[in-house]
Amino acid sequence: MLSQFFQYDFLQNTFYTGLLIGLIGPLLGSFIVVRRLSLIADGLSHVTLAGIAFGLFVEKKFGLLLLTPFYYGTAFSVIGAVLIERLRRVYHAFQELAIPIILSAGVGLSVIFISLADGFNNDLYNYLFGSVSAVSRNDFYGILIIAIIVVTVLIIFYKELFMLSFDEEYARVSGIHAERIHFLFIILTALVISASIRIVGVLLVSALMTLPVAASIRIARGFKQTIIYSVIFGEISVIGGLISGYYLEIPPGGTIVMISILILLLTISGKKLWLNMKRKKAIL
C-alpha cells in the first residue's frame, strides 16, 4: 500500500511531510497539554487560516504570487502568537482571555479575506481539511526547516521547558527567564500549527497535537515516556490517515483524527482492563 507513495513526487512530498508532522505535532503537544494550553492550538489555527485567506486574496485580486498561502499563514500564525503573549501580560489576572480574543480576530479576518477572494475554492477547502495531493516540494522544504528548528530548540531548552511546565514558581526561583522561554515556546507552537495545516487542515490541527498526548498519558509512567508514546501514536495516526484518505479519496484530516480517537479509546479501555486484572490478582 505504501508503494504508490513512492511512485509519484506529490505523494512522496505528502508522505515525508506527514512523517515530520507526526513527529513535531505530538512532540510539542506534550508540553502544551501539560501546561494546560490546549486551546492555544485552536486559536492560532484560526489566525493561520486568516493568513492563508489573505494569501489567496492577494493572489486572486492582484495576481501576485511572491509567496504561497502557506507562508502567509505561517507569518500570521507567528504574529498571532506574539499578540497572545502580549495580551497575557495585559490581562495578567485573566491570561486565558488572550486565546479567545485572538481566535475571534482570526475568524473575523478569515471571513473578510475569504469573501474578498470570492468565497470558497478548492485550495481553501484543502487548507481547511487537509489534502493528500496539495503539498508541494517547496512546502515540504519549508516544513522540514520548521521541524529542524522545533526539535533543536526543544533539545536545547528541554530542562527549562520541563521545569516551567511542572513548577513555574520553582523555575523562576532557579533563575530561568520564564517570559523568554514562554515566548519562544509559543512561537514554536505557531510554527508547528502552520506546518501541520497542509496535512491535517485548519479545523483539525489541534487534535493532532492533543489526542496522541491524551492517549499516551493513560499508559506512560513519566514525561519522557509520554513524549515517546505521543510521537508513536501521532505517526501511526498520520500514516494511517494519509493512506486511508488516499484510497478512500477523502481529506486526510478526518481520518487522521478518527485514528487518533480510536487509539485514545483503546488506551483508555486497555488501562481499565489492566487495572481490573490487577485488582483481581490482588484479591486472589
Measured CA to CA, the distance from residue 153 to residue 150 in angstroms comes to 5
Give tens-digit pLDDT for 170-187: 777 888 888 888 888 889
Neighbouring C-alpha atoms within 13 Å toward the C-beta of 3:
1
pTM of the model: 0.86
- Which CATH class name applies to 11-206? mainly alpha
Query: Cα–Cα distances in Å, from 194 out to 7, 116, 209, 279?
Result: 27, 22, 12, 46
* Residues whose CB falls within 8 Å of the CB of residue 7, separated by 6 or more in sequence, listed in order: none
Q: What percent of the chain has pLDDT over 70?
A: 93
pLDDT band at 6 (very low <50, low <70, confident <90, very high): low
Range of lowest pLDDT (59-73, 162-176, 188-202): 59-73
Instruction: Take residue 48 and report the three cell numbers written for it.
Output: 493561520
φ, ψ (nearest 5 deg) of residue 96: -65, -15
Asked if residues 205 and 45 have their Cβ atoms less than 8 Å apart, the reply is: yes
pLDDT score for 120: 64
Angle formed by the axes of helices 69-90 and 98-116, nearest 10°: 150
